[in-house]
């Protein structure tokens, strides 16, 4: 037996024959096949064919894997038709590049832009560009992307250097029991998909050469342990089968939790909300029985756009998310963008230490406040509409990265001024609009008593609170093991935060990744957390845990 370690996605296990998926999508014609005009025509034809193929895949996969996962193909079709992308490719072809190289380089440029972003979700979107480039190269060269699976009924564990999101969603779930990749990270779109498809996986194994020579060997993939065991003995196999059976039973029990409340054994009702980026994810959260949305990362509406989304566009997005939730709460976090999240239209200066720089509320309150006011108007209008429709208090607003009381006062002044202006304009406003702030900076936790009287709730952003308390850059893989949200210093700041808001009659939420760690649920409840907000994939697991806590 040999064991190779990686980062586990999901908690299940699988046994099967390893199938090495050779990286046939790499490279392309190194030299142009024709003149720049001919290369341009080749590219445009390939882009057109790729769009058609992607639209067909979208329609087909809606019925097989569901709307949420199928959206990947719709997004990829948009990227294939994107003007910026096309311009970049054509500019490179103009300098004498082959269409293949131009596509790969343009995708790399855009992928790097996304990779430099602060937000894990957006960083993981970088893979979408690689995926599109691979598809376009396939069109240009006419290659098949995947060699055929062996012709027998054994379960298969795919091994690859990396898998693109569309390869992942296209995996035949009946034949493929899991996958392992040498590259990849737990926050990538591929990993997100694997979770939503319930496919156990190991990523970041860093063992390309080893994986390739294991083709055809029997392997056991243990996502919970982060291990790939090659040639497992009969004891290991029996253990694994027993676990898989237990997991199937646990998943069956969990799906029945969908309509049950997140309530502890001792009868304490905890709110279990979802973290979302785009409005369409609200419907998924609702379908999984979430108690609304505890964190809508509104910056997703801004990133990838050519200009800041206007009031009407944002209003439509917030309205759609709120309506998809019925009357359940929708907590919209105001823009959390910074100099490290590259949004060309904001012309932000490059900073030495962007995590300590002009980010989130600091950016909103500095200089020209038009950006902030537009967003507040859209949020307040959406809340007013919902109030008029009988859902007063459904929409809440929260401010990120507040450090000092004057920042909260300033943000509140802007919010109330916007409410007053809307009222004067004769528009509906929500008299019950609830306002809170994120606790992400130790200074805010230490001064929570000063913030609490002005807030209906706090939501602890444990990702940043951990980063700033422990001096551990959340983007730096080398120090990732030090970023323990369970550190006593972080926990004591959380306890203090909850105490302060409870003393004023408010509630305390937690929307960082710590909320999705079931081994922490009881401790967090004991520290006074009233609401957990987690990505939709973690909802039922945490609900189950809450229901076993006291």
Active-site residue (options: 137, 364, 508, 511): 511
* Stretch binding Mg ion (CB under 5 A), from 90-98, 185-193, 216-224, 435-443: 435-443
In the region spanning residues 431 to 450, those forming contacts with ligand PEP, defined by CB under 6 A, are: 440
Q: Can residue 297 be called a binding residue for ligand PEP (CB under 6 A)?
A: yes
Question: Considering beta carbons, is residue 336 or 410 the nearer one to ligand PEP?
Answer: 336
By CB under 5 A, is residue 292 in contact with Mg ion?
no
| Binding at 297: pick from ligand PEP, Mg ion, none (beta carbon under 5-8 Å per type) | ligand PEP
Task: Give the Å distances, CA to CA, from 312 to 54, 315, 316, 375, 468.
Answer: 30, 5, 6, 10, 36
Q: Which residue in the list 76, 161, 189, 538 is annotated as catalytic?
A: 189
SS3 for 92-145 is HHHCCCCHHHHHHHHHHHHHHHHHCCCCHHHHHCHHHHHHHHHHHHHHHHCCCC
Could you write out the DSSP letters of every residue in 15-47? EEEEEEE--TTS---SS-SS-HHHHHHHHHHHH
The DSSP line for 440-456 is -SHHHHHTHHHHGGG-S
Size of site (CB under 6 A) for ligand PEP: 11
119 binds, among ligand PEP, Mg ion, none (CB under 5 to 8 A by kind): ligand PEP
Contact 259, 289 (CB under 8 A): yes
Residue 517 interacts with ligand PEP (CB under 6 A)? no
Is 511 among the residues known to form the active site?
A: yes
CB of 192 to ligand PEP, least distance (A): 15
Does residue number 461 form part of the binding site for Mg ion (CB under 5 A)? yes
Q: Which is nearer to ligand PEP, 104 or 335 (CB)?
A: 335
8 binds ligand PEP (CB under 6 A): no
CB-wise, 119 or 281, nearer to ligand PEP? 119
Per the structure block, which two tokens stand in for 452? 């609490």
| Residue (of 534, 536, 2, 532) closest to 269 by Cα position | 532
What gap in Å lies between CA 55 and CA 80, rounded to an integer?
11
Which residue is listed with tokens 């979430």? 290
Look at residue 298 and give the partner it binds from ligand PEP, Mg ion, none, a contact being a CB closer than 5 to 8 Å depending on partner kind.
none
Q: How many CB atoms lie within 10 A of CB 522?
A: 15
Phi-psi region of 263 (alpha: psi -120 to 50; beta: other; left: phi over 0): beta
Question: Given the complex with ligand PEP, which of 448 and 511 has the nearer CB atom?
Answer: 511
* Shortest separation between residue 485's beta carbon and ligand PEP, angstroms: 9
Burial 153-163 (b: 16+ CB within 10 A, else e): eeebbbbbbbb
Using rule CB under 5 A, residue 464 touches Mg ion: yes
Output 39 or 464, the one with its CB closest to Mg ion.
464
List of residues contacting ligand PEP (CB under 6 A): 119, 295, 297, 336, 440, 461-464, 511-512
């Amino acid at each position: 037996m040999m064991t190779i370690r990686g980062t586990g996605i999901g908690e299940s296990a699988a046994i099967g024959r390893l199938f090495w998926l050779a990286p046939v999508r790499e490279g392309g014609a190194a030299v142009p096949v024709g003149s720049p005009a001919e290369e341009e025509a080749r590219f445009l034809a390939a882009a057109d064919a790729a769009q058609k193929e992607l639209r067909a895949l979208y329609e087909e996969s809606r019925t097989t894997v569901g709307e949420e996962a199928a959206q990947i193909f719709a997004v990829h079709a948009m990227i294939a038709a994107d003007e910026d992308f096309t311009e970049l490719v054509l500019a490179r072809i103009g300098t004498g590049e082959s269409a293949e190289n131009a596509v790969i380089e343009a995708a790399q440029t855009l992928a790097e832009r996304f990779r430099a972003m602060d937000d894990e979700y957006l960083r993981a979107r970088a893979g979408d560009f690689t995926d599109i480039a691979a598809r376009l190269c396939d069109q240009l060269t006419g290659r098949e992307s995947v060699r055929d699976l062996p012709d027998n009924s054994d379960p298969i564990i795919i091994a690859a250097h990396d898998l693109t999101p569309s390869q992942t969603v296209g995996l035949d779930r009946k034949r493929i029991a899991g996958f392992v990749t040498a590259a990849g990270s737990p926050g990538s779109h591929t990993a997100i998909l694997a979770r939503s498809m319930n496919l156990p996986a190991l990523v970041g194994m860093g063992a390309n050469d080893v994986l390739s020579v294991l083709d055809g060997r029997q392997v056991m993939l243990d996502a919970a342990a982060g291990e790939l065991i090659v040639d497992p003995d009969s004891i290991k196999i029996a253990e694994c089968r027993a676990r898989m059976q237990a997991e199937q039973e646990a998943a069956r029990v969990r799906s029945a939790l969908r309509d049950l409340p997140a309530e502890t054994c001792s009868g304490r009702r905890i709110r279990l909300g979802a973290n979302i980026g785009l409005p369409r994810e609200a419907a998924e959260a609702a379908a999984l029985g979430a108690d609304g949305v505890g964190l809508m990362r509104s910056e997703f509406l801004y990133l990838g756009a050519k200009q800041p989304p206007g009031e009407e566009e944002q209003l439509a997005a917030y309205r759609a998310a709120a309506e998809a939730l019925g009357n359940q709460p929708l907590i919209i976090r105001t823009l959390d963008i910074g100099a490290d999240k590259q949004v060309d239209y904001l012309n932000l200066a490059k900073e030495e230490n962007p995590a300590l720089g002009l980010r989130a509320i600091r950016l909103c309150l500095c200089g020209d406040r038009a950006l902030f006011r537009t967003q507040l108007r859209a949020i307040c209008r959406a809340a007013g509409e919902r109030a008029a429709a009988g859902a007063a208090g459904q929409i809440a607003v929260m401010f990120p990265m507040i450090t000092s009381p004057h920042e909260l006062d300033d943000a509140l002044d802007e919010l109330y001024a916007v409410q007053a202006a809307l009222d004067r304009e004769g528009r509906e406003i929500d008299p019950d609009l609830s306002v809170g702030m994120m606790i992400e900076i130790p200074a805010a936790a230490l001064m929570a008593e000063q913030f609490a009287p002005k807030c209906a709730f706090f939501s602890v952003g444990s990702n940043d609170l951990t980063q700033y308390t422990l001096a551990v850059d959340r983007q730096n893989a080398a120090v990732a093991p030090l970023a323990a949200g369970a550190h006593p210093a972080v926990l004591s700041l959380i306890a203090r935060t909850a105490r302060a808001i409870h003393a004023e009659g408010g509630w305390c939420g937690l929307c960082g990744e710590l909320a999705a760690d079931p081994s922490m649920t009881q401790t967090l409840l004991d520290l006074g957390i009233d609401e957990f907000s987690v990505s939709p994939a973690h909802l039922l697991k945490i609900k189950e845990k809450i229901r076993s806590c006291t």
